[in-house]
Amino acid sequence: MSKIAFIGLGNMGGPMARNLLRHHQQVTVFDLVPEAVKSLVDAGANGAQTPQEAIADADVVISMLPAASHVKSLYLGNDGLISTVSQTTLLIDCSTIDAQSARQVGSAAADAGVSFIDAPVSGGVAGAAAGTLTFIMGGAENDVARAREVLQFMGANMFHAGELGAGQIAKLCNNMLLSVLMAGTSETLQLAIANGLDPKVMSDIMLQSSGCNWTLQKYNPCPGVMDNAPASNHYAGGFMVKLMNKDLTLAMEAAAQVGAATPMTATAQSLYRLHQQGNGNDVKDFSSIFELFK
Amino acid sequence: MSKIAFIGLGNMGGPMARNLLRHHQQVTVFDLVPEAVKSLVDAGANGAQTPQEAIADADVVISMLPAASHVKSLYLGNDGLISTVSQTTLLIDCSTIDAQSARQVGSAAADAGVSFIDAPVSGGVAGAAAGTLTFIMGGAENDVARAREVLQFMGANMFHAGELGAGQIAKLCNNMLLSVLMAGTSETLQLAIANGLDPKVMSDIMLQSSGCNWTLQKYNPCPGVMDNAPASNHYAGGFMVKLMNKDLTLAMEAAAQVGAATPMTATAQSLYRLHQQGNGNDVKDFSSIFELFK
Amino acid sequence: MSKIAFIGLGNMGGPMARNLLRHHQQVTVFDLVPEAVKSLVDAGANGAQTPQEAIADADVVISMLPAASHVKSLYLGNDGLISTVSQTTLLIDCSTIDAQSARQVGSAAADAGVSFIDAPVSGGVAGAAAGTLTFIMGGAENDVARAREVLQFMGANMFHAGELGAGQIAKLCNNMLLSVLMAGTSETLQLAIANGLDPKVMSDIMLQSSGCNWTLQKYNPCPGVMDNAPASNHYAGGFMVKLMNKDLTLAMEAAAQVGAATPMTATAQSLYRLHQQGNGNDVKDFSSIFELFK
Amino acid sequence: MSKIAFIGLGNMGGPMARNLLRHHQQVTVFDLVPEAVKSLVDAGANGAQTPQEAIADADVVISMLPAASHVKSLYLGNDGLISTVSQTTLLIDCSTIDAQSARQVGSAAADAGVSFIDAPVSGGVAGAAAGTLTFIMGGAENDVARAREVLQFMGANMFHAGELGAGQIAKLCNNMLLSVLMAGTSETLQLAIANGLDPKVMSDIMLQSSGCNWTLQKYNPCPGVMDNAPASNHYAGGFMVKLMNKDLTLAMEAAAQVGAATPMTATAQSLYRLHQQGNGNDVKDFSSIFELFK
């Protein structure tokens, strides 16, 4: 049993920490919102007043925060965790941020003799609750091995993408490709429909052909084709359009840093931005891009 | 055993007709190139001097031609097969052409009381030789049922996409989505590589994540990731860039006819056209689009 | 004074024929709609019951029709004008159609020893009424010279773009670039506005900088910047979105015929198709694309 | 006569400072490269060992630096100019950086009671040498008025775009639109050429039509059309591809900050990134994008 400090108890972090408790880990939690802390304490966690208090004698620190600025503010600087944490503690940041920031924090940790890995997740709120997240890790082999022992309680798949920051890059690469698959599948199904074809038949054909992709297998964007997909539930729940746009912005930044041409993703990004302008679309599931094409 | 007339013995039609012979069908063949006819006659077919002679007492006519102009010229007009064929004969056109032309020929057939379906294939030259093609059919239910009995000797999958022309639409929809998958996967893998990730590791992660698609499963565009993919064989063989461009032009025409917006496909088309300008690229496998991204 | 036959008296053809009358030309008109003929007869034209009657002793035939199918139907075939017109008559087609069709008609005319040029116009309904159209001509030098004598009564600018069909190509090239200018200028002004800049100030800066283009000079898409632009009149009048989409489809067909990559135009086309889906947008002025960007 | 401190004597800053000297201003210069300082001292400037020394009793400070990091490092922090400069001194940053950084520096200046404006330029190295630059300013009205008195010696046009940062936004907006004009004009001319038209004739037609834009007027991308354009000189000199890519990255960041959809610019960016991959293309003039389209 590990002593785990968990920082950041939002829509993702809350259920993740809860799964650690379910697997009988000793968890100390912190969040800026007292109610979030209280809810976890009621479930068996220890509550802390500050991040510093939370990590006091932790074996592992897990952070799950909204953006790079929060992550840097938590770990870096004179008040940051890196300057106070024990050298035997492993730091695992599960936030989705740009790779450059992840490398910056990891580098500061290395300078202080502390182990740090980036471990962004995919699987969304539902995966966080069910404990079926995918963790995509970047960092040293032995740190990643150590992280697996704890992350297994919250996830179903774990990948080691490469060096520090590679977890973030791999997640962004996957998600930018996902946006391409979703936008491409949506416009294709709409073209089939406009030509009088049944979207279910068209989907079945492509599922067994070279057009096959994850969105057809798990997440058909056309209402009525798949009963349990967000499309058949008014695009409620799922992975929100505004979160896809956040990831696409990070992906395009990663492309800018190496001067890479990513025309398919650039087009998908334009479409998701146009789509988000629509009334209420920002909180719809990202498969609602289907509606942009009439 | 059916009496089958086979018109068009090129790279695709030749091996297709050969598979009919292998399954002991009685096949009469015609092609403008005498050598093509001779080769099939050597394999057991009857040779004909004209299309009219070929179809004389056929139960089924199969045509496999390069473009809509050939198909219309074969079937329509005073000298066309439709005006001379027996009403009990089923016409099956396996060419990839625009849906409008398919509907035009089918409509002329209906006026003459003759059954016609469009049945374009996917699977390429390798699938034609192996008898593992996919047939995507458009037409009346009973005509499609009748066609299955013959097409099964040449293919592994058969789909009924809908009314006349739907086979063409469904094939173009699948192939346009394929171009999006391939271009999107290629730019994603190149971005990962530019950020220091191993393309094999990145591919494995996406195969188990929401970026999963046919190109990662069967046809990885990055040399060395998949031993038997064209990418690992200098992009030789496979589905040529110029053929993908032919299909994309047909797909965009289908979109134009209904005024549909297909921005992802439009971007993929621009990329494939830019790619084809490169020296020798027209006859490379379509996964060579990977090279466009450096 | 020339004897002119004018075929096609719609929104464009009507006012064009009227300008010929204003310049004291002898005009015989035909249209499928009797009211259109009557209106011109009231203005001084001779009315004809058929195209054949209209061209009976014409020096020049001018046609202004909606699409290539009408043009081909008018000129080609056993009943077509080419087979009956005098060899001294000059045929001028002012319709906007694909270059291939223009070349086909021109080639048939040449075979019959008849002179034919393509002469599509720009300037819209307002330019037709004011007699300030631009004619872009394709054909032989001496035919073009002869055409100028008549077209001058309806236009302010005349260009000889090249051989037969070049008029159509040049018009489509200009209009596809116009769509790029309008979409690009619109998204740029919207970005400036979203960053707190005044669109009038931003427009003034670009008018004197390297972003200068016709849409900023004559046709600012942002309401309120230019009093007399359609944008300041609820995007009423002007060049309708559906007509821009028609021209973009023709331009992309011209690109397909030579395998040219036109990614900027392809993006503009996708945006105009998305825009046209909006309620009532098809008849708005094409500068209303500004609204697509929020 | 003003006492002017000039920081940053590169390709742009060097000739700019030289023009101040030509107009008999008293100029003290600093650069990290001693040779750059020496060259200006030889021309009549005072040389400084540090930025602090350069600004000692300056009325105006002008900085011209490569990127935001340099600008922030010069002005901000304990050693930054803002904490030591006299409150009567006006700070003018002519670097092209992101608007957010410009606002950050301006805000720090305001906190210290110091006046600061952003004043990026267009016109390139040639404009810097000739003293014909365009300055696009963001900041308070009276600061801008004061800046004009000095900037006039280096430029031909001065615009006040709006509040702090607006100069940067306006410059990026102009340059992103320029990339759209150049890419769009290039693909259009190539399509015309592929259809047998003369690019000079096509250009002349569009110059007098609705496709008219700055690239046709001043900077035709097709070799041979305009004698004095970079296209007619092997794309040497002018505005380099890599600098256009730098500006496009900044423009896309500005779009990301407000969530704006800029599909035309996104496509142009993809094309410029693809183009820059080509051997030696990074230092060619940006009109060389013409070559990408065959």
Phi, psi of B117 (to 5 degrees): -130, 155
Chain B closest-CA separation from residue C211 CA (Å): 24
Contact B187 A264 (CB under 8 A): yes
Q: How many angstroms separate the CA atoms of A199 and A220, rounded? A: 10
What average pLDDT does range D45-58 have in this prediction?
96
Rounded CA gap, B232 and B221, in Å?
Answer: 8
Continuous segment of H or E residues that includes residue B61: strand B60-63
Other residues' Cβ atoms within 10 Å of the Cβ of residue B151:
24
Mutate to test the interface with C, among D133, D205, D206, D272 (most CBs of C within 10 A): D205
Q: In this structure, which CATH number among 3.90.105.20, 3.30.590.10, 3.40.50.720, 3.40.50.1220 belongs to the domain A3-164?
A: 3.40.50.720
State the pLDDT at residue D124.
Answer: 86
Show which of residues 68-127 on chain A sit within 8 Å of chain D, judged by CB atoms. none
Burial tier of B123 (Cβ tally within 10 Å: 0-12, 13-18, 19+): buried
Domain at A169-293, CATH class: mainly alpha
The pLDDT confidence band at residue A47, using thresholds 50, 70 and 90, is very high
The CA–CA distances, whole Å, from C125 to A194, B155, D208, D217 equal: 32, 56, 18, 27
| pLDDT over threshold 90, residue A238 | no
Contact A59, A3 (CB under 8 A): yes
Q: Beta partners for D237?
A: none
Q: What is the pLDDT of residue C65?
A: 97
Measured distance CA(D174)–CA(B220) in Å, rounded: 41
Q: Is the pLDDT of residue D1 over 80?
A: no
Buried b (16+ CB within 10 A) or exposed e, A238-250: bbbbebbbbbbbb
Q: Name the closest residue on chain A to residue B160, using Cα atoms.
A: A201
For residue B212, give every residue at least 6 positions away whose Cβ sits within 8 Å of its Cβ, in sequence order, or none: A213, A214, A217, B206
Contacts of D201 in chain C (CB under 8 A): 159-162, 170
Q: How far is CA A232 from the centre of its chain?
A: 24
What pLDDT band is residue C120 in, cutting at 50, 70 and 90?
very high
Residue D159, chain B, CB below 8 Å: the answer is no
Contacts of C269 in chain B (CB under 8 A): 266
Chains that touch C (3 or more CB pairs under 8 A): A, B, D
Nearest neighbour of B277 by CB, restricted to D263, D267, D294: D294
Contacting chains of B (3 CB pairs or more, <8 Å) are A, C, D
Query: What is each CA distance from C166 to C206, D77, D149, D191, in whole angstroms?
Result: 32, 63, 53, 12
Percent of chain A with pLDDT over 70: 100
Residue D37, phi then psi, degrees to nearest 5: -65, -45
Q: What is the pLDDT of residues D237-266, one digit of tens each?
A: 789 999 999 999 999 999 999 999 999 999
| Res. C178 pLDDT band, cuts 50 70 90 | very high
Res D123: pLDDT = 86
Whether C12 shows a pLDDT value over 90: the answer reads yes
pLDDT in tens, B94-150: 999 999 999 999 999 999 999 999 999 988 888 999 999 999 999 999 999 999 999
How does residue B2 score in pLDDT terms, banded at 50, 70 and 90?
A: confident
Dump pLDDT digits (tens) for B30-79. 999 999 999 999 999 999 999 999 999 999 999 999 999 999 999 998 98
Give the nearest chain D residue to B271 (CA atoms): D271
What local confidence, expressed as pLDDT, does residue D67 receive? 94
* Composition of chain B by helix, strand, coil, percent to 5: 55, 15, 35
Question: Which residues of D are less than 8 Å from A273 in CB distance?
Answer: 259-261
- The yes-or-no verdict on residue A269 having pLDDT over 90 is yes
DSSP state of C279: T
Spans of all domains in chain A: 3-164, 169-293
Helix, strand or coil, per DSSP, at residue B231: helix
Amino acid at C138: G
8 A C-beta contact, residue C95 and residue C71? yes
Burial class (CB in 10 A: 0-12, 13-18, 19+), A132: middle
* CA–CA dist A267, D270 (Å, integer): 10
Q: Which of C259, C266, C277 is the closest to B266 by Cβ?
A: C266
Angle between helices D241-258 and D166-194 in degrees, nearest 10: 120
Chain-chain contact of B269 with C273 (C-beta, under 8 angstroms): no
Q: ipTM of the predicted structure?
A: 0.94
| Tens of pLDDT, residues D144-173 | 999 999 999 999 999 999 999 999 999 999
Mean per-residue pLDDT, A239-258: 96
Residue D70 has pLDDT above 90, yes or no: yes
d(CA A244, CA A261): 20
d(CA D259, CA A273): 7
DSSP for chain A? --EEEEE--STTHHHHHHHHHHTT-EEEEE-SSHHHHHHHHHTTPEE-SSHHHHTTT-SEEEE--SSHHHHHHHHSSTTSGGGTS-TTPEEEE-S---HHHHHHHHHHHHHTT-EEEE--EESHHHHHHHT-EEEEEES-HHHHHHHHHHHTTTEEEEEEEESTTHHHHHHHHHHHHHHHHHHHHHHHHHHHHHTT--HHHHHHHHHTSTT-BHHHHH---STTTSTTSGGGGTT-SSSBHHHHHHHHHHHHHHHHHHT---HHHHHHHHHHHHHHTSTTGGGSBGGGGGGGG-
pLDDT per position as a tens digit, C210-257: 999 999 999 999 999 999 999 999 999 789 999 999 999 999 999 999
What is the Cβ-side half-sphere exposure of residue D228, based on CA atoms within 13 angstroms? 2
Active-site residue (options: D38, D72, D171, D200)? D171
Region C188-193: what's the mean pLDDT?
98
Chain B residues touching D267 at Cβ < 8 A: 267
Which element (helix H / strand E) includes A29? strand A26-30
Q: What is the mean pLDDT of chain B?
A: 96
Residue D261: which of A272, C193, B262 has the closest Cα? A272
CA B208, B214, B217: angle at the middle one, nearest 5? 55
Q: Which residue matches tokens 């969304």?
A: A124
**How high is the mean pLDDT of chain A?**
96
Return the pLDDT at C124: 86
C-beta atoms of A258 and B181 within 8 A? no
Contact between D189 and D203 under an 8 Å Cβ cutoff? The reply is: yes
B contact test, residue of C252, C257, C267 with most B CBs within 10 A: C252
Contact D270 A259 (CB under 8 A): no
Of A104, A39, A21, nearest in space to A69 by CA: A104
Measured in angstroms, the CA of A252 and the nearest CA of chain D are apart by 9
Amino acid at site D41: V
- Residue C193 reports pLDDT greater than 80: yes
pLDDT average, residue stretch D177-181: 98
Percent of chain D with pLDDT over 70: 100
- In A2-86, which residue ranges form alpha helices assigned H by DSSP? 13-22, 34-42, 51-54, 68-75
Residues linked to residue C91 through DSSP beta bridges, in sequence order: C61, C116
Give me the residues paired with residue D49 across strands.
none
Residue D16 to residues D25, D94, D155, D156, Cα–Cα distance (Å):
12, 10, 9, 12
Q: What is the mean pLDDT of residues B80-95?
A: 96
The sign of the dihedral angle between the CA atoms of C99, C101, C106, C111 is: positive
Q: Residues C94-105: what's their mean pLDDT?
A: 96
- CA D5/CA D32 separation, integer angstroms: 14
State the first-to-last Cα distance of chain B, in angstroms, to the nearest integer: 54
Residue D255 is predicted with a pLDDT of: 97
d(CA C9, CA B292): 50
pLDDT score at C105: 98
Strands annotated E in chain C: 3-7, 26-30, 46-47, 60-63, 90-93, 115-118, 121-122, 133-138, 155-162
Contact C274 A292 (CB under 8 A): yes
Average pLDDT of chain D, as a whole number: 96
- Tell me the shortest Cα–Cα distance from D183 to chain A, in angstroms: 15
pLDDT confidence bin for D2, thresholds 50/70/90:
confident
Query: Is A270 part of the contact surface with chain D (CB cutoff 8 Å)?
Result: yes
- From C171, C200, C218, C294, the catalytic residue: C171
User: What is the C-alpha to C-alpha distance for residues B58 and B89, in angstroms, rounded to an integer?
Assistant: 6
Q: Per DSSP, what are the bridge partners of residue B62?
A: B6, B92
What is the per-residue pLDDT across D31-47, written as a single tens digit (0 to 9) for each? Answer: 999 999 999 999 999 99
Identify the band that residue B253 occupies on the pLDDT scale cut at 50, 70 and 90. Answer: very high
Distance from CA of B254 to the nearest CA of D (A): 22
Integer-rounded Cα radius of gyration of chain A? 20
Which pLDDT belongs to residue A293? Answer: 97
Asked whether the predicted pLDDT for residue A126 surpasses 80, the reply is yes
All residues of chain A having their beta carbon less than 8 Å from the beta carbon of residue C267 are 267
Contacts of B294 in chain D (CB under 8 A): 277
Give the DSSP H/E element, type plus range, for residue A160.
Answer: strand A155-162
What does the mean pLDDT of chain C come to?
96
d(CA D71, CA D93): 8
